[in-house]
Amino acid sequence: MTGSDALAELRSRAAELDAADPLAWCRAEFAGGVRAYLDGNSLGRPVRAAGPALADLVDGSWGTRLIRSWDEQWFEMPLVLGDRLGASVLGAAPGQTVVADSTTVMLYKLLRAAVGAAPRGRDVVVADRENFPTDRYVVDGVAAEAGLTVRWIDPDPAAGVTADDVAAALGPDVAVVLLSHVSYKSGFVADLAAVTELAHSHGALVLWDLCHSAGVLDVQLDAAGVDLAVGCTYKFLCGGPGAPAFGYVARRLQGAIVQPIPGWMGHADPFAMGLHYTPAAGMRRFISGTPPILGMVPLAEAIGLIERVGIVPIRDKSILLGRFVIDAADRLLAGRGVRVVSPRDDERRGGHVTLAHPGFREVVARLWELDVVPDFRNPDGIRLGLAPLSTSFAEALDAVATIAEVLP
C-alpha cells in the first residue's frame, strides 16, 4: 500500500470514528479555533461558557455584590469546586478535596505535612527521576528541610514506574512514596491501586500527582485507599492558564497531618482575626491565603461539562484516540524513523501519545506555523495530547499527517 492509500484509508476511518463518537457534540462547547490542537495535556482549550461566566463575575458577584460575595459564595468556592471535582473526576467523597495554590505549592504542602507526620525512623521519601521537574525539586527541598533522604527510582523511561520498582525501594524506613499517576513524558499509567496497597503494606503513605490523569482517566482515589493527591486544573480540566491546583487528603488523615503554611483562610474562624492559628475542621485547613476566585470561574464551567458527560465515556474516547493515533503513526511515520514511545497497551497509556525522532524540534516549530499544535519535549519527543472533549479523530490524524509532510 502506498503512503497516500494509507492516508486515504485513515481519513475514512477518522470520519467513521467521528460520526460514531458520542462526545462529538462537546467540540461545539469550546471557544476559539485552531486547525489542530494536540496539547490539551498541557493547556486545555477554554469552554465557551468561560467567557460569559467571567463577564458575569465582573458585572455581578465582583462588580455589584463586591465584598458581600465572599459570604455569598467565594468563601466556600475552593471546597465546593473541590467536592465537584472529587465526585466527577477523582472518585472522592465530599470533604476531601480543595482547590487552591499552584500544583507546586500544594505538592509542597501535602508532602511536608506527610513527612512531618511520619514516626521516628521513617526518614526516607521514595520518588522517581522521570517525574516532572517540579516534583523532583519539591522532594529535594522537603527532604533537605525535614532532614530526610530521597530514595530515587530510575524507571525504564518508556515504561514508567512499576509496582516492582516501588517494591524494591520500600522498607521500614520509608515515610512517603510520591509518584505521578501518568508520566508527563511517555504517558505511562502507573498502577495506582497496586502501588498504594504496596506502600501501605510497608507502613508508608502515598502521595499521587494526578496532573496528567485528572479529567482523562477514571481515577478512584477513595476506592484505592489513596492518602494524598495533588493535580493541575489547567491541563485536561480546562481551567485556564494558571488555574489553581487541587489537593486531596483522605478524611482519616485530615486531623493527623499538619500543613506547613498556616494562613488566615484556613483558620477555624478567619474573621475573628485571632492571635493564634487554630486550624479549621476538615479540608479548609489546607487552604493558606485568599483563594484565587478569578482562576476558578472558567474551571467551574469546564467541570460542568465534565459532569454532563461523565468520566467513563471520556476515558473510553481517550483510549480510542490513542489507539487511532498509534495506528496512524505506525502507518505514516514508522517508515521514516519515528518511534512510538508511549505504551501500546490501552490500560497502561494515559491521555497523550509520545513519538520520537531526532528531527522533531524543527518539525514542531514548522507545525506551529501551520496552526498544528502539539508540543516538543527534550530531546526528541513530540507529545500528542488527546483531549477527548475537544479533539476529533480527523484533527488527530491531521496532526500525524502533517508531521509526515514536514518531516525532512
Ligand X SMILES: *Cc1c(COP(=O)(O)O)cnc(C)c1O
Q: Which of residues 226-285 bind ligand X (CB under 6 A)?
A: 232
Question: By three-state DSSP, how is residue 249 classified?
Answer: strand
Nearer to ligand X, 46 or 351 (CB): 351
Q: Which of residues 140-199 bind ligand X (CB under 6 A)?
A: 180, 184
Tell me, by CB under 6 A, how many residues bind ligand X.
Answer: 12
Q: What's the closest the beta carbon of residue 134 comes to ligand X, in angstroms?
A: 4
186 dihedral zone (left: phi>0; alpha: psi -120 to 50; beta): alpha
By CB under 6 A, tell whether 213 contacts ligand X.
no
By CB under 6 A, tell whether 208 contacts ligand X.
no
Cell numbers for 128: 522517581
Which residues are part of the catalytic machinery?
A: 132, 209, 234-235, 383
**Residue type, position 401, single letter:** A
Nearer to ligand X, 105 or 328 (CB): 105
* CA 317 vs CA 22, 138, 164, 188, 229: distances in Å: 9, 34, 30, 17, 25
Tell me the window of 72-80, 91-99, 127-135, 326-334 that interacts with ligand X (CB under 6 A).
Answer: 127-135
Radius of gyration of the chain, Cα coordinates, nearest whole angstrom:
22
Tell me the window of 91-99, 205-213, 336-344, 362-370 that interacts with ligand X (CB under 6 A).
Answer: 205-213
By CB under 6 A, tell whether 102 contacts ligand X.
yes
Tell me the window of 129-137, 148-156, 262-270, 333-341 that interacts with ligand X (CB under 6 A).
Answer: 129-137
Tell me the window of 81-89, 100-108, 152-160, 341-349 that interacts with ligand X (CB under 6 A).
Answer: 100-108
Judge contact between 170 and 177, C-beta under 8 A: yes
Alpha carbons 135 and 133: distance in angstroms, whole number: 5
Among 29, 39, 128, 135, binds ligand X (CB under 6 A): 135
Nearer to ligand X, 135 or 301 (CB): 135
DSSP E strand stretches across 154-244: 174-180, 205-209, 228-231
- Between strands 124-128 and 381-385, the pairing is unpaired
Instruction: Return the H-helix or E-strand segment holding 396.
Output: helix 393-406
Q: At what angle do helices 360-369 and 393-406 cross, to 10 degrees?
A: 120
Nearer to ligand X, 27 or 136 (CB): 136
Q: What's the closest the beta carbon of residue 159 comes to ligand X, in angstroms?
A: 17
DSSP E strand stretches across 58-140: 97-100, 124-128
Return residues touching ligand X (CB under 6 A): 102-104, 132, 134-135, 180, 184, 209, 211-212, 232
